[in-house]
Structure 1
């Protein structure tokens, strides 16, 4: 898959606006400040295709990007405290509305910051994906901030905290240094082929 061909295709503010799913979809879900947009840009070899902001919680729509007949879906971040309750409710509706539709979901990339224990919202997302039997990988972002030894410890701690089965794929990633990006691409390509 040539990620350099990635193009922004559309943004939707409510789940009712979402068009029917016609291509395999790879959805990205995670907390507001986990680095979803930065990771997408690194996957696509682009600096600013997905909008990155110094202010967490800027992705307030569901954004679609297309690469060779595969749709990459950037879901709004969850759990950001400094937005109005009505905006939080709208984001929640967007995320739930997306997952409740008949989508051609090939893979969900669930992002968690490797430096911290998983939050209740992270745990809830992983439990939801497991119960719904959706194919997913965990991308542990900001891995460049830890040494190799610290990374291994955090992966083990998060596996235990989230009660992940041994065969669950967990990939430490860094949008900054490119750690784990090739491995993530391989999982995406396997999922959509």
Structure 2
């Protein structure tokens, strides 16, 4: 599943989606009025065996979000992992980047992603320095383990530790971190957030 704006909180603590608006749905013969985010989490939860990955952008950061169809970030209630791609332009002062995804051809499950900062040489994009792979950064040795299973097997603090190594995008002029924020708060997408 691909979408531009991810669910949850933005990097500054505000909601990414307008949760003041609600959607009426019928569930077990009751009509419920739910926020867009809660409806999305319900939908993902009901189709999680069919959804092989959620790819987003918009934030200009390289990161991930853990989606829960509950009010708490209990690893047993993880329903999906959303992977965010950094920007490819430099107009926000961040280094551009690309993600290359590897997936299981039989199941379409996302197995690996690699990030590379591009440079243009002779009119061609080339990849150089600061490249990394998800499995190397998150210390995952099994090449067949899917990203969702990898994250589901970690506690939140461990995910934040690994994410903090890559998430803060560096300014292309100064090579210093542009902004850091509460990774834990942004990483977990919960019901009624």
TM-score, length-normalised on structure 1? 0.28
Larger strand share, 1 or 2: 2
Larger radius of gyration: 2
TM-score, length-normalised on structure 2? 0.28
